[in-house]
Amino acid sequence: MNPEDPVVSSRLAEKAQEAVRALESLRQAAFAACDGTEVHPAAHDEFEIAWSPSISPAELADHALTRAGECLAEYQTFRSGFVYCYGCRSASCAHAQAPEPGHVFAGYQATGRPYWEEFFNFLLAIGDDRAERLFSSRPELLSRVIGRKRLIDEQLESFGRNSLTYRIWGQVVAGYVVVGGARMAFSVQLVENKAHQLRLQVLAPEGLQAALVDTSTTARSATQRVHEALREARHRMVEISHLWEAHHSKKRLAEFREKGFAVLRHLAHSIERKGRQQERRTAHAEQRGNQQRPVHRAREDLAQATDLDIYRDRFRGSVIVTGKSGRAHVFSDEGRHITSFVLNGDELGRRLQRKRYELLGTPDCAAFRQCALVESMATGTHPPAAGPGPGTDGADHKGTPS
């Protein structure tokens, strides 16, 4: 058959048009899966993928997703010392830094905005039983390695979940370091950028950043020891980053992730070992510690709580009683008071949304109250007279799950 036959040419043109439409649809889907709203036009122009008969659909989709992430990252900001906000498309907005010196990076919201949490509360949220050591007579400097899955659990694909603009592999959260009488926490993130370079991002309050930069090489202070741990981690990441940049592939991802997390684990260990605080807390730090741990209000808040203020912590199996001003108290099922803390901002709402907290329910509340009463009588910690009572619509209850 003559290749110049107009019937053949028309058929080929029709199939080619179908292929173009399919590829355009693939490109749009790949951008949407990364960070697809308001994509810079130049990013679209640079999107190129190669196809061959041997490529499977899954491989083609993975290649398109990777290429879209690279194209988007080319036109977005990576700013040292700041987390990237996919909601504002900036590393310079108000969300890119912690709102308080004691906060650490807790993850991305669904819309790609970073959210932060008081370090003590964050440790409680992940079930770290060492949290109380932060407030002992000789407070310890604690750290914890956090994986990527937890940090992007709520983040939607259309708001940067798969983007290479600022891809967090994992992080170390640590605290508290006392600087100028204030307790400070910080996050150290292992981040990949569009060029497949791996770098450590230190997210710390300005006071702590200045203390780390100005630390003496001879004085054995907490900041000096943390500075040493960070310097060692950065040095170890240089070689790993060069290797990943040169040999990045899906097949080798697990190998390099383990290398990166080995650095994070060593960093966390070094921060705790090298950075233990020897000095006692100042009166100001002591006062702030008490504010974050309202243990003396536990029985009073329980007495005033309605059934809408009592929850089950599905992660830890404990009972949570909420009070005014964000107070929250952790009890065992037997009514024993374990600890207290403060839920900042809309943290209670987020925990309800993630279904970490669920209402205990009226029958279980009644049984729990009875156990708590017996426990308080046994320990001599009698609560004051009850307030609204179970099941009533008291004015101070925190509401129901949305």
Distance of CA 378 to the CA centre of its chain: 40
Among 85, 35, 31, which Cα is nearest to 61's?
Answer: 31
Least reliable range by pLDDT among 162-176, 206-220, 260-274, 310-324? 206-220
What H or E segment, with its residue span, contains residue 124?
A: helix 119-125
The Cα–Cα gap between 86 and 163 comes to 9
pTM of the model: 0.56
Q: Which segments of the chain belong to CATH 3.10.450?
A: 294-379
pLDDT in tens, 123-169: 999 999 899 899 888 889 999 999 999 999 999 999 999 988 899 99
Number of H helices, E strands in the chain: 12, 11
Least reliable range by pLDDT among 36-40, 77-81, 102-106, 352-356? 36-40
299, 381 Cβ separation under 8 angstroms: yes
Question: What CATH architecture is 294-379?
Answer: Roll (3.10)
pLDDT in tens, 175-194: 999 988 899 999 999 999 88
Query: What mean pLDDT is reported for the chain?
Result: 82
Across the range 83-99, mean pLDDT stands at 89
Among 174, 167, 279, 170, which Cα is nearest to 229's?
Answer: 174
Q: What is the CA radius of gyration of the chain?
A: 26
Confidence of residue 323 (pLDDT cuts 50, 70, 90): very high
Sign, CA dihedral 286-291-292-293, equals positive
pLDDT in tens, 196-253: 989 999 999 988 988 887 765 555 678 888 999 999 999 999 999 999 999 988 889 9
The encoded tokens of residue 87 equal 């909601």
